Amino acid sequence: MDLVTPGLGLVFWMVVVFSLLLFLLKKFAWKPIISALNERENSIEEALRSAEQAREQMSKLKSDNEALFRQAREERDQILKEAKEMKESIISEARKSAEEEGKRMIQKATDEITKQKAAAIAELKGQVASLSVSIAEKLINSQLSNSAEQQNIIASQVNNLNNNQQAIA
C-alpha cells in the first residue's frame, strides 16, 4: 500500500509546482486575455453606441433602422460567442497542461521508486555475498576434526545471516 500512496515530499513538490504553474498563468496569461476581453467589450459597447446613434438619425426610415439594429445585435452575439469560445479553449488548454504535468510528475516518481528498489536489491545482494564469503573464510580458517563441529559452526553462521537479514528488513 505504501507504493501506491505518494510520500509527503512528493505531495509537497507537486503542490509547489502546481502553485508555480498557477502563478505563471496568472502573471503572463490571464492579464492579456482579460485585456483582450475588455477591448472586445469596449468595441462591442462602441458598436452598440454607434448603432444607437444611427437609429436616432434614421428614425424616419424605420426599415433601415431595424436592419442596422439587427446587424449590430448579430455582431455583438458573434463577438460574445467568439470570446466565450476563446475563454473555454484557454481553460481547456490549462487543464490539459496541468494534467500532463501531473502525469509527468507521477511517472518521474515511479521511475525514482524503481531506481531505489533496484539499488536496495543490489545492496542486499552485495551483503549476502559478503556474508557468504565471511562464512566460507571462517570454515576454511578453522581446523575441525569432526563433522558435528562443522555443523554447529554452519548453523551459527546461518543464524547470524538470518539475524542480519531481519535487521536490514
Prediction pTM value: 0.35
The alpha-carbon radius of gyration of the chain (Å, integer) is: 38
Predicted local confidence at residue 95, as pLDDT: 93
Q: How far apart are CA 136 and CA 157, in angstroms?
A: 10
Cell of 95: 487543464
Predicted local confidence at residue 143, as pLDDT: 53
| Average pLDDT per 10 consecutive residues for the chain, totaling 169 residues | 74 94 88 88 93 82 78 91 91 92 94 92 83 74 63 78 71
Predicted local confidence at residue 44, as pLDDT: 93
**Helices 147-168 & 62-141, crossing angle to 10 degrees?**
160
Cell of 48: 452598440
